Amino acid sequence: MGSVAWHGQGNRVGNRKLGGRMQARDLIWLAALGTGARQPFDLDQLGSVIDELAGRIWTPVIDVMASCLEEIHRSGSLTLNESHFATTDQGQQILSMLLGQPAGPAGCPIGQVGLRLKLAFLDLAPPQERQDHLGLIIEACQDELAECRRRCELCAAHGPFGRQWLRHETERLRRDLGLLLSMRDEAPVSMMDGLA
């Protein structure tokens, strides 16, 4: 992969190093590159994809999406043909890097959107990278589950309703982790090629 430029130069995303937590623009890049790897799309179709995957959690402003598409196109990661974008080979590399970037805690909105987008496009990564990316997602979920349990045990200030809600959140994370583990176990590297 070397020094593929995106959002900036080399291994940097804007003013931060690649590998830091995903930000809103990273989510747009992920959605655009993943969508373009499946089929050509326009700005409205990208908005629809994000709406379908993110639900009501997050909807980027159309001007920001347009700016990101222009930036991605200028970087050489998307081609443009009659108002429809498609992902290039370089864009495929960047998509794979984004799939490995931390999305943030699954309990916060940007983390939820990042998880949804990553799982939607995970099958587009090379087989071994898919397993690696899924492993990172599982690890992040395990860390968040441990943190949520700790908060439940330590904080008496939540009151009975607050503690009940934290237990509910802990149970949701436990279910999410169980699903992720079953995805990993049911789809070893050799089988993951057929998941698309």
pLDDT of residue 9: 41
- Sign of the Cα pseudo-torsion (65, 68, 70, 72, in order): negative
The CATH code of the domain that includes 17 is 1.10.10.10
pLDDT of residue 111: 87
Claim to verify: residue 120 and residue 168 sit in the same structural domain: no
Claim to verify: residue 133 and residue 119 sit in the same structural domain: no
Claim to verify: residue 33 and residue 64 sit in the same structural domain: yes
Claim to verify: residue 95 and residue 136 sit in the same structural domain: no
- Say how many C-beta atoms besides its own lie within 10 A of residue 63's C-beta: 8
Claim to verify: residue 190 and residue 149 sit in the same structural domain: yes
* Residue with token string 């990278």: 129
Claim to verify: residue 45 and residue 118 sit in the same structural domain: yes
**Contact call for residues 138 and 131 (beta carbons, < 8 A):** no
Amino acid residing at 151: R
pLDDT of residue 2: 37
pLDDT of residue 21: 82
- Say how many C-beta atoms besides its own lie within 10 A of residue 7's C-beta: 19
Closest CA to 175 of 151, 146, 135, 141: 141
Claim to verify: residue 89 and residue 14 sit in the same structural domain: yes
pLDDT of residue 167: 83
Claim to verify: residue 23 and residue 119 sit in the same structural domain: yes
Q: What is the pTM of this model?
A: 0.82
pLDDT of residue 18: 53
pLDDT of residue 108: 81
CA distance 80 to 78: 7
pLDDT of residue 34: 97
pLDDT of residue 82: 92
* Segments forming the whole domain that contains residue 39: 1-125
Residue 99 Cα to chain centre, angstroms: 6
**Contact call for residues 6 and 87 (beta carbons, < 8 A):** no
Claim to verify: residue 159 and residue 104 sit in the same structural domain: no
Claim to verify: residue 115 and residue 168 sit in the same structural domain: no
What stretch of H or E contains 139? helix 127-154
Of 88, 106, 125, which closes a domain?
A: 125
How many structural domains comprise the chain?
2
Residue 11 backbone dihedrals phi, psi, to 5 degrees: -95, 30
For every one of its 196 residues, what pLDDT tens digit does the chain have, with 9 covering 90 and above? 333 444 444 454 443 345 678 899 999 999 999 999 999 999 999 999 999 999 888 989 999 999 999 999 999 999 999 999 999 999 999 999 999 998 887 778 888 899 999 999 999 998 888 889 999 999 988 988 888 888 777 666 677 787 788 888 889 889 999 999 998 888 655 444 444 4
Claim to verify: residue 159 and residue 138 sit in the same structural domain: yes
pLDDT of residue 192: 46
Of 70, 91, 125, which closes a domain?
A: 125
